[in-house]
Structure 1
Amino acid sequence: MDWMDVGKVGLSSAAFGISCLALWISHRNWLRSNCPIVVACIETATAQDEAFIAYNLIVVNTGNRPAVNVRLYCEDSDLEQCIQPGPHAGKKPGSTWTHVKKCFQEDAEIPVLLNGKSVSNSFGFTGVNQQSFWKYNSRLKITLRYADLDGTNYRKELILLIKDSVAFAGGMWSMPEETKK
């Protein structure tokens, strides 16, 4: 066998190996870019001159494939550290606590969340003079779990900021009409 033949075989083998690596990288990148990306945030539902702000919890799929079996999880201790002590902090049936806690229960699972779509739920309020459920500016740690249509599971941890989403730094010239509901 001639050295030229060995070189040709070696070069062909290297080219085949590089092609296989490129195929693997392309497949991996395709999987990462063609998946559901589900996030959650807290948005202002209505506000009245900073004296009262009602919130919605929004869950949105910003990816390019549908998400299935979307669940939100939160430890009670994480919820409790964000709650303002006072008359609205009770855990009685029908209380704000009950409505907020329902967002993290099994029966609140979102069966299908299409790409580009969102769902929302009422999520407490802040106010002045002990008339608040949440501590304003508190951070709530949650976990999102969901799957794609092929059964690949995803798990994301997020920190939700309980704050007016209309004025990110806390000030504005006037309240936009779409937030005055």
Structure 2
Amino acid sequence: MGDFLSSVPFIAIAISLASLYFSRKSWLQSNRPIITAFVSDHAKGNISTALNLVISNTGNRPATNVRLIASENDILRLIKPTAQAKRKKMILDCFQESAIIPILRNGEELSTCFGAITRNDTDENWMVNGAQIEIRVEYSDLDGRFYKSEMPLKIYSREGFAGGFWKEPSMG
């Protein structure tokens, strides 16, 4: 009985250290940047929709050196082969190292133009409506911890994501 009582303080210390470890680990997981990337409508008309690529930090800490990564072949699956070279380059540039976002504040969203889709096959219809690829998002926090996430990136109009939506009545 004496041996057991003398080991109780060591057991208590071990439990306290384990609790401290798991508390710190949980704190780090819940207090970090969380970065997502998605395609969103910029402007929508009755014939075409201009699209933006949006990078959002929904976490509660700033993110640093945010970068989107995808293979060129995958990115080209989002773009119609008939698109002008300058338009293809504009989309490919979003995934280049030069497009790194140095700091993205918590709660902040940044966007860049990301093509257009139309109802008919015109020169302005240069993205493949419904095309989807997997991308990787890499970033750090202010303390230098590195994160990476893989997520889908789909070309579609978010308003009416299943193909239709109600228009607001015009006041006129």
TM-score by length of 2: 0.91
Alignment of 1:39-78 (within 5 A): 39-49=36-46, 51-78=47-74
Equivalence map 1:119-130=2 (5 Å): 119-130=110-121
Query: How far did 1:176 drift?
Result: 8.6
Instruction: Report the CA distance between 1:167 and its aligned residue.
Output: 1.4
Residues 168/175 of structure 1: CA separation in 2 closer, same or farther (3 Å cut): farther
Q: Deviations over 1:103-150 (max 9, x none)?
A: 111221111111111110000111133222111111022111111111
- The one-letter amino acid paired with 1:138 is A
1:6 CA displacement: 0.8
Aligned to 1:25: 22
Identity score, percent? 36
In structure 2, the CA distance between the partners of 1:126 and 1:169, relative to structure 1 (3 Å rule), is same
Aligned positions of 1:100-179 closer than 5 A: 100-131=91-122, 132-174=125-167
The answer to whether the 8 Å contact 1:37/1:62 transfers is: yes
What's the Cα RMSD here? 1.7
Aligned-partner Cα distance in 2 for 1:139–1:68: 26
Q: Distance in 2 between matches of 1:153 and 1:176?
A: 48
Match of 2:80 in 1: 84
Alpha-carbon distance in structure 2 between the residues aligned to 1:176 and 1:96:
34
> Which consecutive aligned stretches of 4+ in structure 1 deviate over 4 angstroms post-superposition?
none
Using a 3 Å threshold, how does the CA distance of structure 1 residues 20 and 157 change in structure 2: closer, same or farther? same
Structure 1, unpaired ranges of 5+: none
Q: What is the CA distance between 1:154 and its match in structure 2?
A: 0.9
Distance 2:60 2:144 in 1: 16
Residue from 4, 9, 18 that aligns with 1:7: 4
Specify whether residues 175 and 162 from structure 1 end up closer, same or farther in structure 2 by C-alpha distance, changes over 3 A only. farther
Please report how far the alpha carbon of residue 31 of structure 1 lies from its aligned counterpart in structure 2 after TM superposition: 0.7
Please give the TM-score of this superposition, normalised by the length of structure 1.
0.86
Determine the C-alpha separation between the residues in 1 that align with 2:154 and 2:119: 18
CA shift, 1:175, in A, is 5.3
Unaligned segments of structure 2, at least 5 residues: none
Find the aligned partners of 2:127 and 2:92 in 1 and give their Cα distance.
Answer: 13
Q: Are the aligned partners of 1:84 and 1:130 in contact in 2 as well (CA < 8 Å)?
A: no
Q: In structure 1, how many angstroms separate the alpha carbons of the residues matched to 2:75 and 2:6?
A: 64
